[in-house]
Amino acid sequence: MNYAFLSNGLTSALESQGSIDWFPVPRFDSQSIFTRILDYEKGGHFSIKPLEYEKVQEEYIGYSLILKTTFKKGDSKAIVIDFLPLSLPAIIRLYETEVPLEVNIYPVFNYGLINAGAEIQKEGVVFKNPLSKEGVELLIYGEYEIVSPYKLIIKPGKGYLYLLYSKDLRYGLFSQKGFVYSRPYDAFSKLVSYTEKELSKAKKTSIKDLKDLYYRSLSVLLGLLYKPSGGIIASPTTSLPEIIGLERNWDYRYVWIRDGSYATEALIKAGLITEARRSLDFIISVIDPSSKSFDHPFYTIDGTPPPAEENLDWLSGYKNSKPVRVGNAAYLQVQMDVEGAFMQALYQYYKETRDTEYIDRNYWVIEAIANWVKSAWKDESTDIWEERGVTRHYTHTKVMLWVALDRASKLAEALGYKKDADEWKSEANKIKEDVMKNGVVNGHFVRYYGGDEIDAALLTLPIYDFIDPHDKVFLNTLDRIEKELRVTDGLYLRYKKDFLGNAVHPFSLITTWMARVYIRLGDYSKAISLLKRLDSCANSLKLLGEHIDQNTCEARGNFPHSFPHAGIVLSIIELEERLNEKDNAVNK
């Protein structure tokens, strides 16, 4: 997946070699106006590149999500710097070139279903949706020639292209209030400064070989945070296939409670407390204190219930992988592990900050989750992998219910609510007894009660302190996972098969879980080699998708994905902590 990820906390874009092939507006989960990643012919795109070039180099500016693309031919070069300015559904493209550049721009509305009408203006071009007042305006600064509304030739020199989406063109770039919008060069410098300041607050790492991967992962997580609400989406894309040509294509542009909690925990451990607290506030805002704590496994980025799933039949899909879906039918599932994921994040927030005022103010949340878990933990559920139409007593889900009560008990004890702490701890112990009785077969943990198969989610048991990593039952489980789910060095399947058939490609998150397990086992060199293996499968910009193609090492599934990047941050911070503890012990 040779794409760069651009974000400004409102929306995102994917770009490759000067072509922007994905751009939903005005926010992450909106309809896209550049959709070529899902249909090369009809999807629309926005490209800028020399008529001829021999080499192209893409790199981010520092650890920002600002992309610098350099085209070279002989001694001549052209540089294009692309970014999404803060607070606007816009793309700004700064250029400095020694050769002519060709610009092709084909905006389409409603994921390529509606072609835009075009009108050339004195300073650029306006593209209108014929069925509404919305549109896209392209402001051009520099020396150029308009060949058609869809094609420009830029002459050597400096300048910029400024594209802004407007819900109503009456207040767009070319309107009487156009002067209020960002000035491109100022917007660039402000974004650089903003990013540097944001990341400067993060904990540092002394592991030089993993430093770039660590900071890139943090920048991805921050780029997936929707600034108006604080919700962290799982991924900025939809329908990028897990397996090329097949139907495992899903829309991930929503805030999954599980994924968002995991990303929040990573931000907490990295010291980005302000951003993490905003994500916690978002998740707290959707909690139902009178029923299941989370009515849905995921929410839209403004906290409303998720949309139903539908197919966009007019799109051919990424490399002809159909269907293309928007919305996600997983909203129909009752996932009982998500309360534990959130409680883990909330507990980690308290451990890092000792912010008793925040915890006490939200104690109603802890009570609501603990009381619901007490009444529901014996029920069947879908699991972390969201297998459709299947409910069971999944071992990992039971453990996460234990996590919810265990963390609730610890927080209650910290605040002095001893009765609650004792009551919830007692119920947590019952869940643990149930898991050890029904979730262990032939000396190892199993995926679900009554079965014998394993899945990689069992790696989280020592990560959440459910069991000691050196416990024989867990070591037997680890051995089976290493033998049965390992595809190649450092890459693992999440399970063997599901309702759609056999799993094919490794799941990138699993490598970070495995690294965290080996950190707890004291095998730091193994953990480092696992993280380096993941790094080797990242693209040139150190971005990872949900899956990794076992043959090519390319990203598969939606891209980039919060899971592996959160896992990388947590792994590196935990490794740093253990290495520091080891050094301190030696120095004593």
Written as one string, the DSSP assignment of 319-385 is GG----EES-GGGG--BSSHHHHHHHHHHHHHHHH--HHHHHHTHHHHHHHHHHHHHHTTS-BB-TT
Model's pTM, two decimal places?
0.96
Give the residue carrying structure tokens 């090329």: 244
Give the three-state DSSP class for 508.
helix
For residue 497, the model assigns a pLDDT of 84
Radius of gyration of the chain (CA): 25
CB burial of 195-217 (b: ≥16 within 10 Å; e: otherwise) equals beebbeebeebeeeebeebbbbb
CB distance 121 to 174 below 8 Å: yes
* Count of other CB atoms within 10 angstroms of residue 373: 26
Q: Which residues have CB under 8 Å from 225's CB, separation 6+? A: 9, 231, 232, 275, 278, 279
Instruction: Mark the ranges of the chain whose per-residue pLDDT is less than 50.
Output: none
Q: Which residues have CB under 8 Å from 254's CB, separation 6+? A: 29, 233, 234, 298, 299, 300, 301, 306, 328
Give the three-state DSSP class for 326.
strand
Tell me the C-alpha distance between 433 and 130, whole Å. Answer: 63
CA dihedral (326, 241, 90, 538) in degrees, to 10, reads 150
Q: Which residues have CB under 8 Å from 398's CB, separation 6+? A: 377, 431, 434, 435, 439
For residue 388, the model assigns a pLDDT of 81
For residue 424, the model assigns a pLDDT of 98
For residue 581, the model assigns a pLDDT of 85
> Would you mind telling me the total number of residues written for the chain in this entry?
588
For residue 67, the model assigns a pLDDT of 98
- Residue 111's identity, in one-letter code, is Y
Element (H, E) at 269: helix 257-269
Tell me the C-alpha distance between 268 and 345, whole Å. Answer: 8
* Tokens found for residue 317: 């899909």
For residue 586, the model assigns a pLDDT of 63
For residue 387, the model assigns a pLDDT of 84
* Tokens found for residue 107: 């905006």
Of the CA atoms within 13 Å of residue 547, those in its CB half-sphere come to 23
Q: Which residues have CB under 8 Å from 290's CB, separation 6+? A: 368
| Cα-based distances in Å from 351 to 200, 320, 498 | 22, 48, 37
Give the three-state DSSP class for 210.
helix
CB distance 373 to 405 below 8 Å: yes
* Tokens found for residue 586: 């030696």
Tell me the C-alpha distance between 247 and 249, whole Å. Answer: 5
CB burial of 391-416 (b: ≥16 within 10 Å; e: otherwise) equals bbbbbbbbbbbbbbbbbbbbbbebbe
* Tokens found for residue 279: 């994500």
